[in-house]
Structures are given as structure tokens and as C-alpha cells.
Structure 1
């Protein structure tokens, strides 16, 4: 019986073609690098494209960035000036690479766990490097889709809800631990701030017909009130040794070698307590959701697939989200964390909520986040010391309200992630909610995010459809890859010849 065996020279050319295609696909997943001239043209046109609408939209993600960053700083989990500096640099790079209002925000799971469990700065740095490295690996191997298949959405929803409840509870306790009305920073201020925040949040969520355009965003308003009261606090209690007065320019270095002093215990804690629970959140919410939302918000920017993505069925950039591919976003988050956390940056990611918020407030292109990045870098470099002092004087009552709002938003996002797939008449609705609640209650009860994830996976396997789903996944993974037929080998040869002919024409 005759077999189809490719000649040695054809096999070598086929292997070379596959390696070249694979390397080209990886190169195109690295944001900014593969199209530097286009990025430079966007930077050159920045002053002309900077409109009031883009400036307004740049603050659309402050509701998440401000409270989490301040909480991480006050808990000692990050150094504030480097964290702000590298967050701003990430904003600029993302705006130049994609020309979209791509947000850069603290990783919520890491931030919530670090603040609530009082984890060290070394553990947080280690977690950012580990998550970044894992995302780079997932992007290169295109295993980003496998994560979606292994971790059910209900577990991710429960993780978000549990961390949201913990974060909101911490914010509420910061208010209730204060005296009611005997000082500026008091429980009454927290109650009034909460009422104002709810009113402004409702206005933000209203339709254009019902919205009061003069009302500012909630988080920015509360933060400005907090800065005003912090100034009053510094004026009244200027002799307090807690405050570094007088205010001065510059401050701590915005770049330092952050891995000095990280021991094996920090790496272990950063992996199990922070990086591992964060990974499914990042892959699903900061990669898959962002890519899909970008295609929904900006359909006019859809790109036709690259010719080489049609020639390789194995290692290719996803083409269903044509504005941004999942591999691009995963590579971006991976590089930002694995590199910037080495020099003092905090674990950051892109978020679908931030993208939607910045779009809602007027941002339509990368100009908004470039402006925001320049603002952050300016604050970090020139006002680093004053920023630290102001943050120390910020009323805990307002910070607690901001944390409670951020936690509620995180929990609500988790609920909606599952509820969008639940129908009242569906028999598996109770099963999905049970898996979600198992994850949530274990996180809230034990205070350990990794225990909640494990509990959710166990519930998914033994109570839900996880056993059958994982069984199907293993059967699919064990299926052998069919050998290339002579027709496929001939097709590859044709592509190689066409490529060589194109190269010759280009040289001419």
C-alpha cells in the first residue's frame, strides 16, 4: 500500500514555512512594536486630536483606578510614585498601539486580596511578574482559549462577587470605625459622601434624555472633595509628624529595582494567593471581554484577517474580534506586568468596564488615554512627594465610600457575567447559581481567594456539568492530528512558491 511521503527538500521547506508563519504571528501579537511608524504618526497628531470630549473621557475609569491605587498605597502593597508613573506609561503605549481609549487599571483580584489580607509589597510585585509571564506564554502558545474552556464563567463570577463583597465590607468598616461627627473625617461625612455618590452614579447611568449634563462623574467628584478636605486637614494639623510638610516638588524615585529582597516565600504567596486567582479573571474579563467590547463599540475599525492567518490552522491570531485579538491583549497585559513590575510598577490590566466608561464619557480614540498617561507621569515625577502627603491626609470616610463603590461594581460585574446566560425556564439556572455561590461564600468566609476558586471548581465538577465537560475536553485533546495529505503538501508548496515569487517581485 503506497503512502504519501513528502520529499526531504519539500519537508524542509514546509517546516521552514511553518516556523516563519509562527514567528510572524507572535511578532504581530506584540502591540506597538510591529507598527512603530503608525504609532509615531499618532503621537505627532496628538495635539490636534486632543478635544474636550477626549479629555472628559479620559477620567471615565477613575472610579476604579483611584480607590484601588490609594488603598494599595496606604496598605504598603505598592510604592505610589512608581505605580502611577508606570500606569501612565502603560496608558501612553496602549493609546499609541491601538488608538483606542484602552484603560489601564489595577488588577482587582490582586488589589482586593492584597488590601484585605495585608500582603507585602514583595508578594504583590512577584504576583505581577508571574501573571505577566503566564499571559505571555498563553499568548505565544495560543492557549488563551483553553483557559476559557477549563474555568467556567460561574466560578469567575463567584470570584468577582466574593472579592467585591470583601472590598465593600472593608470600605464600610473604614467608615463605621470613625466617630460619628466629632472631627472632619467622621462617619457623617461618609454617609453624606455615599448619598452624593449614589446620586451621581444614578445620573451617570441615566439615558441622555434624563441625564443632568452639569453633574460631574461620581468618583472624580468625591476625589476632589477628598483633596479639598485633605488640604484643610494639612492646614489644621500641619505639625503632625504623620505628614511630610512643607509640601515639596519631586519625591521618591519613580523607578527602582523592585525584585531585591523577594524571597521564595514571597514568590509562593504571590503565586497561590494572588496570581493564580487573578489569572482566570484577567483572561476572561481583561482579555476576552475587552476584545469583544472593542469590536462592539468600534465596528468601523474591524480589520480584514492577515493573509498568513488563513494559511495556518494551528498558531494564528484570532480573527473573530477583528479590532483587537485576544492574543494581542494578552500579550499587552503580559509585557506590561512582567517588565514594569520589575521596576516598581503595580499589577495592571486592561478592563472592559474601564473601556466602556471612557467611551461613555466621550473618549473615541487613543488621544484620551495618552493625555491621561501624561497626566499620571507628571504627577508621579513632579508631585510625587506631595501626592504621598495628600493621600495620607485623605479622609478615610471618603476613601471607604470609594472602596465600597468599587467593590459593588466588581461584584455586580460578576453577577451580570453569569446572569446574562441564565433564563428563568432553563433547568440549569439553579446549578450555575449554586456554583457561583459556593465560590462566593468560601471566599467571604475564609478570606482566601484560592479556596473559593477550588470550591467553585469542585462544585462545578460534582454538582454541575463539569465532569462531562472536562471529559469531552480530554477526549477532544487526545484526538490525533491528521497527517498532511498530498493535496495539503501541494497546497503548502504552492504557497511557498507564491511567497518566493512575491519576494522576487518586491526586490525588483
Structure 2
């Protein structure tokens, strides 16, 4: 339907722009953390995210997100790994995903997991992200609660850019309450990514400390659950599948590993956030990719200072609303037994580990009296 002409076009454009802000609650804390704590160069990191986002938007033509890998960024922030070990982990993760995608093994894994187990993983991960969002709100309680309250009614009107509204309110409140920081020098300064050559020891240590723990979460959340959620949001989609998600993430991490970036992935939470705040096409990837490329190549330092103006409480509010969509997206239990399985899996994913939750959930589904073949 094209009734409304300009109004419809405006709502679509504003939805894509708002959707671009939707995943900041997940993206910024991890990226700012690895830059400020580990001392990694912001120019290279933003450039590589820009390349991956731009390619993702053109290839999938849907709002598929690009995020820092959570286990990896946590290890980096806590100082457990060195830059060459980060590069080694990225190379190992990238090579593994490419092999799993090209051989079709990733599809076999995905087909062996019942839908109720996937729903449970979504519910558990969504609950975990929602709790994390509320904890971030507590760090700037007044600003965070204000952002949550303002975003709530805006969310019921899909023509209004909910995420942009939340960011604007948070930044304005932060400036009013905390004062205006000095302006950064905005002259462009070219910063190119630099080559990194990890040794075999770096690859081994990066694999043990980051690669193996991260792969379990990546296969669950960034491949299987993201594919399922994309099928729910975009039934006509033909490109987002486990093997394509494995290949695009694999290629991105191989590139990131040799150019001084950090491990990157897609993610169900990011997809839910982009969709929740209005994104419906790959334009969000092109928009963010172009922006990150410009930041990384020419304006890394002043852009970093600007992004730090967004209060943590506001990022928490964005993360909270996106997490709710992840938790309930595609939730369609076919029987009471599906509900039982999903709840058990969600509890394990929330309190223990998503990868363990998948293993236990599949066994629980298949080898108990209430089980039935996946439909």
C-alpha cells in the first residue's frame, strides 16, 4: 500500500534512522570499553565495523546487526588478552565459521535443534539483556528512568523514532545535569587500520581464552537464533540462513584479525533492537557502515568523545526495550510440552550458559515422555 505518499516515505526513512540507533545499548558499552581499557585504536575498530556493516546491509538487504562478540570484549576489558592474542582469536573464530558454513555442518546443527529450544534461548538471552539494561539504568538512575519513561509511549507509535528520541532525551539531560564538556577539534585526520601478525602462540592463547568460549555463544545466538528471528520478522527472506550467517561472520573475523580489530558477530538481540525501533531494510547497515567508516578513517577521536556524551542509563534503556523484543520474538509454542522445554532452556541460558542450555534442552526434548519429533 502506497497511500499517504510522502508521509509513508517519511515514516520509512525515520524508521530506518531510528532503527540504526536501536543497537547502541549493546554496541557502545563494549566498543568504548575495549578502546578505553585495552588501549586499542578507535580508528581501526570503527573502520572494520563500518566495512562489515556496509557489506551486511547490501548483502542481506535486511537490518542484520553487527556487534562486538560479548565473551571476547569481556576478556579484553578485564585485561586477560593482548592485542596479538585478540587477533589470533579472531582468525581462529573466522576460520571455524567459514569451514562450518562451506561444509554445511552449521545447517545440520541448526536443523537438529527443536524450535522450542530456540524459543527458550531467545527468552533466556532476552531476559539477561533486559536485566543488564536495567543495571545500566541504575548507573544513571535519573537519566535512565527518564529515558525509559519517554520511550515507552513513543514506542506505541511506529511513525515516531523511538531510539532517536531516547538518545536525544538522554544526551540533553546529561548535558543539563553534568554540564557541557569542551568541544573537540573536528579537523579530519586519516587513520588507516594497521596489519597485525599474530604468532602461533598468540593464536593458541587467543583460542583458549576467547575463541572456544565465544564460539558456543556465537553458534547459538549469532547464527541459529538470529536466523530463526529473521524468519519470524521477515518471512519472505531468502538470504538469512545459518550457512550465510556463518560465512559473513567468518569472513569479517578473518579480516578483523589481520587488521587490528576485535571479534565481531551478528546477534539476535541486535536484530530485535533494529526491528523494534523501526528498521526494515538493509539501509540501516549502509547508513551505519558509512557513518562508522567516516568516523574510523577521518574523525575517530572527536566522534569517540561525542559518543561518550550518551549516558549509560540511556544506553541501558535502549538495551532494555530491544531485549524485550528478543525475548518474545517468534514465541509460538505448539503445545504445553513446548512451553515446558522453552522455560527449562530459558532458565539454564539465563542462570548458567546458553550453549549448555542448548545441549540439555535438546536432550530434554527428545528423551523424555512428553517429547515429539520437531515439526
TM-score, scaled to structure 1: 0.57
Match of 1:432 among 342, 349, 364: 342
Is the Cα–Cα contact under 8 Å of residues 56 and 362 in structure 1 kept in the other structure?
yes
The answer for the alignment partner of 1:399 in structure 2 is 312
| Aligned equivalents of 2:362, 2:228: Cα separation in 1 | 24
Deviations 1:368-418 (A, max 9, x none): 532332222112222112234445x647xx2144146426634x3553268
The answer for the alignment partner of 2:5 in structure 1 is none
The answer for the alignment partner of 2:57 in structure 1 is 95
- Aligned-residue Cα RMSD (Å) equals 4.2
| Aligned equivalents of 1:155, 1:258: Cα separation in 2 | 39
The answer for the alignment partner of 2:99 in structure 1 is 137
Is the Cα–Cα contact under 8 Å of residues 64 and 271 in structure 2 kept in the other structure?
yes
Task: Name which of structure 1's ranges 334-343 and 66-75 shifts more when overlaid on structure 2.
Answer: 66-75
Match of 1:60 among 7, 19, 27: 19
| Aligned equivalents of 2:319, 2:252: Cα separation in 1 | 23
Q: Residues 389, 270 of structure 1: CA spacing in aligned structure 2 closer, same or farther, 3 A cutoff?
A: same
Match of 1:337 among 246, 250, 253: 253
The answer for the alignment partner of 2:146 in structure 1 is 196
| Aligned equivalents of 1:202, 1:271: Cα separation in 2 | 38
| Aligned equivalents of 1:119, 1:226: Cα separation in 2 | 36
The answer for the alignment partner of 2:164 in structure 1 is 217
The aligned runs of 1:229-378 (5 Å cut-off) are: 232=179, 234-235=181-182, 247=185, 249-250=187-188, 253-260=191-198, 262=202, 264-290=204-230, 292-293=231-232, 295-296=234-235, 299=236, 321-322=237-238, 324-351=240-267, 354=270, 358=274, 365-378=281-294
The answer for the alignment partner of 2:133 in structure 1 is 168
The answer for the alignment partner of 1:416 in structure 2 is 328
Q: Residues 220, 253 of structure 1: CA spacing in aligned structure 2 closer, same or farther, 3 A cutoff?
A: same
SS of equivalent to 1:247 = coil
Report deviation, 1:89.
1.7
| Aligned equivalents of 1:214, 1:439: Cα separation in 2 | 32
| Aligned equivalents of 2:151, 2:11: Cα separation in 1 | 21
SS of equivalent to 2:145 = helix
Report deviation, 1:334.
1.9
Q: Max radius of gyration: which structure?
A: 1
Report deviation, 1:140.
0.9
Is the Cα–Cα contact under 8 Å of residues 252 and 384 in structure 1 kept in the other structure?
no
The answer for the alignment partner of 1:157 in structure 2 is 122
Is the Cα–Cα contact under 8 Å of residues 295 and 324 in structure 1 kept in the other structure?
no
Q: Identify unmatched segments of 5+ residues in structure 2.
A: 1-8
Is the Cα–Cα contact under 8 Å of residues 159 and 414 in structure 1 kept in the other structure?
no
Report deviation, 1:343.
0.8
Aligned length: 355
Q: Residues 269, 222 of structure 1: CA spacing in aligned structure 2 closer, same or farther, 3 A cutoff?
A: farther
RCO higher in structure (CA 8 A, sep ≥6): 2
The answer for the alignment partner of 2:6 in structure 1 is none
| Aligned equivalents of 2:359, 2:284: Cα separation in 1 | 43
The answer for the alignment partner of 1:460 in structure 2 is 361
Deviations 1:243-278 (A, max 9, x none): xx9635456834022454735322211123323322
Report deviation, 1:196.
2.8
| Aligned equivalents of 1:378, 1:143: Cα separation in 2 | 37
TM-score, scaled to structure 2: 0.74
The answer for the alignment partner of 1:238 in structure 2 is none
Q: Residues 459, 353 of structure 1: CA spacing in aligned structure 2 closer, same or farther, 3 A cutoff?
A: closer
Q: Residues 367, 295 of structure 1: CA spacing in aligned structure 2 closer, same or farther, 3 A cutoff?
A: closer
Matched, 1:384 2:334: no
Is the Cα–Cα contact under 8 Å of residues 161 and 278 in structure 2 kept in the other structure?
no
Report deviation, 1:197.
1.9
